[in-house]
């Protein structure tokens, strides 16, 4: 039985559905097996930085959207007194650290 080591990427999976992009088609676009893609989306393995970069290009993600879709646990948010959700300022965007855009 496989054990999940990472967080499941529900936001990314929903985006793929919204864009009507199947795992099979996406896997082909990034030269990855469908099983490997499935494992990464479901938290059994993790995307490499070059895979994140390629997927961001294919999905037309803005640099500030990368953490939201690929690293949801980094997007810790808190509620302000007015009920407004904000992303904590100490979270650095992955795209800035990697300089992929």
Q: Parse the chain into domains and list their residue ranges.
A: 10-98
Q: Which CATH architecture has domain 10-98?
A: Orthogonal Bundle (1.10)
What is the pLDDT, as a whole number, of residue 75? 59
Q: Report the predicted TM-score, pTM, of the whole model to 2 decimal places.
A: 0.71
What is the pLDDT, as a whole number, of residue 4? 84
Q: Which residues of the chain have pLDDT under 50?
A: 77-95, 100-101
What is the pLDDT, as a whole number, of residue 39? 95
- For tokens 């893609």, the residue is 37
What is the pLDDT, as a whole number, of residue 62? 92
What is the pLDDT, as a whole number, of residue 87? 47
């Amino acid at each position: 039985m496989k054990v999940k080591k990472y967080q499941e990427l529900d936001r990314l999976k929903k985006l793929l559905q919204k864009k009507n992009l199947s795992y099979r088609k996406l896997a082909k676009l990034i030269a990855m097996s469908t099983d490997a893609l499935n494992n990464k989306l479901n938290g059994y393995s993790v995307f490499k930085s070059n895979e994140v970069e390629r997927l961001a290009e294919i999905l037309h993600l803005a640099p500030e959207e990368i953490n939201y879709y690929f690293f949801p646990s980094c997007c810790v948010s808190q509620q302000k007194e007015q009920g407004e959700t904000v992303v904590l300022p100490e979270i650095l965007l992955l795209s800035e650290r990697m300089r992929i855009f």
